[in-house]
């Protein structure tokens, strides 16, 4: 399982536990530390792109992004293994295939947020059995503002219309299924306040919904791993 890490503060989190539970071995490439990104997903059963604070085309400050986009393009176009992009990873998927991502666009989302499943989700292999509304952890100011022409929109929220998309066997989620309550507790409180959020409320809501978040996203990730196992 190939995992690309774009920022030291946006690691795989509880994805590692879910991978271990199913017997998958993660290979984490710390792109931010200049570890090389492979050209192809050969030798791996799936690709995961993690988050980060940069925009998907910020090649000057984050020069590895070009190679990451090419790996994502190859993986998606060949369709031999599934891919999952989280936050920046979702934005990379949209940008790579002709969509638009804008920085500090609209209103930020931070902490537990309600997500609505859309009609395109009815037949999606990752979303089977989910109710029409679920909760996820958000942490972003940038967002996808236009989808690629061949993308299927699967989820939205009040502040961000493009919360989950699919292109072929590649999915992108703006929210963070990997984030634990412990990570939320470590978020910078000054940043939370500057974005218009109360740190106490953000932490309390994450604690309140911890079991629900674990159940929802471990199930979705499990279905992603089913595709990888096939």
What is the C-alpha separation between 57 and 184, in angstroms, rounded?
A: 27
Catalytic residue among 44, 95, 162, 176: 176
Rounded-to-integer distance, Cα 25 and Cα 162, Å: 31
Among 68, 109, 138, 178, the one annotated catalytic: 178
Q: Is residue 178 flagged as an active site residue?
A: yes
Q: How far is CA 124 from CA 40, 113, 127, 129, 206, in A?
A: 25, 21, 6, 10, 27
In sequence order, the 6+-apart residues with CB closer than 8 A to the CB of 71 are 4, 37, 38, 39, 40, 41, 47
- The residue written with tokens 């309390």 in the block is 204
* Beta carbons within 10 angstroms of residue 103's beta carbon: 12
Angstrom distances, CA of residue 52 to CA of 14, 32, 35, 171: 17, 10, 16, 17
Please say if 160 is a catalytic residue.
no
Catalytic residue chosen out of the listed positions 87, 138, 160, 162: 87
How far, in Å, CA of 118 to CA of 107, rounded?
Answer: 21
Strand residues in the chain grouped as ranges (E): 2-5, 27-30, 47-49, 83-86, 100-102, 109-117, 133-140, 143-146, 152-156, 164-167, 170-173
C-alpha neighbours within 13 Å on the C-beta side of residue 101: 25
CB neighbours (10 Å) of residue 11? 18
Q: Is 87 a catalytic residue?
A: yes
Q: Which residues are catalytically annotated?
A: 87, 176, 178
């Amino acid at each position: 399982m190939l995992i690309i890490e774009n920022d030291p503060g946006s690691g795989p989190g509880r994805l590692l536990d879910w991978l271990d539970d199913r017997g998958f071995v993660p290979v984490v490439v710390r792109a931010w530390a200049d570890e090389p990104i492979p050209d192809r997903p050969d030798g791996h059963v799936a690709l995961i792109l993690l988050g980060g604070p940069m925009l998907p085309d910020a090649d000057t400050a984050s020069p590895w992004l070009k190679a990451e986009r090419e790996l994502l393009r190859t993986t998606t176009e060949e369709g031999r293994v599934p891919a999952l992009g989280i936050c920046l990873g979702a934005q990379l998927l949209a940008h790579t295939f002709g969509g638009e991502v804008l920085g500090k666009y609209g209103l930020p989302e931070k902490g537990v947020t309600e997500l609505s499943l859309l009609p395109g989700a009815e037949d999606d292999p990752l979303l089977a059995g989910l109710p029409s509304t679920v909760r996820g952890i958000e942490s972003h100011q940038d967002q996808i503002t236009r989808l690629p022409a061949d993308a299927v929109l699967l989820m939205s929220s009040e502040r961000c219309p493009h919360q989950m998309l699919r292109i072929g066997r590649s999915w992108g989620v703006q929210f963070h299924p990997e984030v634990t309550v412990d990570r939320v507790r470590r978020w910078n409180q000054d940043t939370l306040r500057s974005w218009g959020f109360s740190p106490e409320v953000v932490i309390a809501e994450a604690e309140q919904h911890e079991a629900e978040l674990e159940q929802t996203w471990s199930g979705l990730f499990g279905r992603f791993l089913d595709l990888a196992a096939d």
